[in-house]
């Protein structure tokens, strides 16, 4: 199954953008496939008129929801971007990011919300990569080019988006409850995200979880997608981007994130993004 899934992902990760948007009575919907490789394609404090769902096929990134909660996202995660609410989505600039996206009119989103399909406190569903969901997305993309009737496509895309959401919900509910090890890794991840100024020693965290450092590092990378040290760096860089958007100075950001000085921050920021903090601010 793993090999089959990998082949399907490799085949579907085309390089061209493939999408269509529709509008009926000022309400919109759409469906598409997108790859991203540049920080210019990040969304910083963006607000959408309609609901948007993003199903990550490949790559890793960070989603800051309208509540200000930050989420590490990767393959198999489904992000919910509610209408009229600001959000930020940043991806790693390694050329790996690939996503399916779909949008729903606000009125349909509100109906699903009233039916308690969505939980306002759960902006990301860790669904996992499933052949059935990928095929649903691919079938819809194929239909976009087989039918020209916009009103018909508007209805079909909306129905397909709701079906995908419900399929994802069922898959998520079927997942087993987390093991003790997973709970420990989740707690460690939270600790690495909470206090930026603290000088956290990873070996101490491993000791608290009754694990060797190597075991802790292996499990953390397995569950989170990055080694713990790299995860903390990437999370700091994401936070720095948000503070740059808020017009903090580089010195203020360095102090906020626990760097010894602004030069250390700038050096690490450039290493991971390819540009200095000042250059990044100019691209926003």
Instruction: Specify the CATH number for the domain of residue 278.
Output: 1.10.10.60
Structure tokens at 251: 């010195």
- Cβ neighbours of residue 184 under 8 Å, at least 6 residues apart? 209, 211
* Same domain as 56, residue 132: yes
Beta-carbon neighbour count of residue 122 at 10 Å?
A: 13
* Same domain as 190, residue 150: no
List the end-to-end C-alpha distance of the chain, in Å, as a whole number. Answer: 42
* Spatial contact of 234 and 92, defined as CB atoms under 8 Å apart: yes
Q: What is the DSSP letter of 19?
A: E
Judge whether residue 15 has pLDDT over 70.
no
pLDDT at 100: 93
Q: Where residue 52 falls among pLDDT bands split at 50, 70, 90?
A: very high
Judge whether residue 173 has pLDDT over 80.
no
Burial class of residue 71, CB neighbours in 10 A (0-12, 13-18, 19+): middle
Query: CA 52 to CA 218: how far, in whole Å?
Result: 34
Q: Where residue 89 falls among pLDDT bands split at 50, 70, 90?
A: very high
Region 15-32: mean pLDDT is 73
Judge whether residue 191 has pLDDT over 70.
yes
* Same domain as 170, residue 184: no
Helix (H, G, I), strand (E, B) or coil at 81: strand
Q: Where residue 20 falls among pLDDT bands split at 50, 70, 90?
A: confident
Helix (H, G, I), strand (E, B) or coil at 253: helix
* Spatial contact of 60 and 124, defined as CB atoms under 8 Å apart: no
Region 95-113: mean pLDDT is 90
* Same domain as 198, residue 167: no
> Which of 174, 189, 209 lies at the terminal end of a domain, its last residue?
174
> Which of 149, 174, 199 lies at the terminal end of a domain, its last residue?
174
Judge whether residue 3 has pLDDT over 70.
no
* Spatial contact of 78 and 125, defined as CB atoms under 8 Å apart: yes
Helix axes 228-245, 213-224, angle to 10 degrees: 50
Query: CA 193 to CA 177: how far, in whole Å?
Result: 23
Alpha helices, DSSP H, located in 145-227: 150-174, 180-194, 202-208, 213-224
pLDDT at 235: 87
Going from the C-alpha of 267 to that of each of 14, 40, 251, 270, the distances in angstroms are: 34, 20, 13, 5
Q: Where residue 178 falls among pLDDT bands split at 50, 70, 90?
A: low
Most confident of 13-17, 77-81, 188-192, 230-234: 77-81
What does pTM read for this prediction?
Answer: 0.61
pLDDT at 17: 58
Region 162-177: mean pLDDT is 81
Helix (H, G, I), strand (E, B) or coil at 33: strand
* Same domain as 145, residue 46: yes
Q: What is the DSSP letter of 40?
A: G
Structure tokens at 142: 């194929």
Query: CA 247 to CA 134: how far, in whole Å?
Result: 40
Query: CA 228 to CA 215: how far, in whole Å?
Result: 12
Judge whether residue 177 has pLDDT over 70.
no
**Closest CA relative to residue 160, chosen from 108, 222, 212, 238:** 108
Give CA angle at 191 (168, 196), nearest 5°: 115
Region 245-267: mean pLDDT is 91
* Same domain as 137, residue 8: yes
Query: CA 103 to CA 79: how far, in whole Å?
Result: 12
pLDDT at 51: 94
Residue 269 lies in domain: 180-283
Tell me how many domains the chain contains: 2
Judge whether residue 8 has pLDDT over 80.
no
pLDDT at 11: 74
Q: Where residue 245 falls among pLDDT bands split at 50, 70, 90?
A: confident
pLDDT at 183: 83
Which residue would you say has higher pLDDT here, 77 or 4?
Answer: 77
pLDDT at 16: 60
Judge whether residue 179 has pLDDT over 80.
no
> Which of 174, 198, 221 lies at the terminal end of a domain, its last residue?
174
Judge whether residue 78 has pLDDT over 80.
yes
pLDDT at 14: 65
* Same domain as 256, residue 168: no
Which residue would you say has higher pLDDT here, 94 or 89?
Answer: 89
pLDDT at 145: 75
Region 17-29: mean pLDDT is 72
Judge whether residue 263 has pLDDT over 70.
yes
Helix (H, G, I), strand (E, B) or coil at 32: strand
């Amino acid at each position: 199954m793993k090999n089959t899934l990998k082949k399907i992902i490799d085949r579907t990760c085309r390089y061209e953008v493939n999408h269509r948007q529709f509008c009926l009575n000022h309400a919109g919907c759409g469906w598409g496939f997108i790859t991203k490789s540049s920080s210019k394609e990040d969304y910083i404090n963006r607000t959408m008129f309609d609901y948007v769902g993003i199903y990550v096929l490949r790559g890793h990134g960070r989603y800051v929801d309208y509540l200000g909660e930050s989420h590490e996202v990767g393959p198999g995660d489904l992000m919910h971007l509610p209408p009229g609410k600001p959000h930020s989505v940043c991806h790693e600039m390694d050329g790996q990011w690939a996503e399916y996206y779909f949008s729903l009119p606000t009125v349909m989103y509100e109906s699903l919300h009233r039916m308690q399909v969505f939980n306002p406190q759960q902006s990301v569903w860790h669904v996992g990569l499933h052949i059935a969901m990928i095929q649903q997305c691919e079938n819809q993309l194929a239909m976009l080019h087989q039918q020209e009737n916009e009103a018909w496509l508007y209805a079909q895309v909306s129905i397909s988006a709701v079906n995908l959401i419900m399929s994802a919900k069922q898959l998520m509910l079927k997942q087993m409850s987390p093991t003790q090890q997973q709970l420990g890794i989740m707690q460690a991840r939270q600790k690495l995200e909470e206090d930026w100024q603290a000088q956290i020693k990873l070996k101490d965290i491993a000791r608290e979880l009754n694990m060797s450092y190597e075991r802790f590092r292996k499990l953390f990378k397995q569950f989170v997608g990055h080694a713990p040290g790299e995860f903390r760096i990437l999370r700091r860089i994401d936070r720095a981007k948000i503070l740059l958007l808020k017009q903090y100075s580089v010195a203020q950001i360095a102090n906020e994130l626990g760097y010894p000085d602004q030069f250390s921050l700038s050096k690490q920021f450039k290493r991971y993004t390819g540009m200095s903090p000042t250059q990044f601010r100019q691209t926003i």
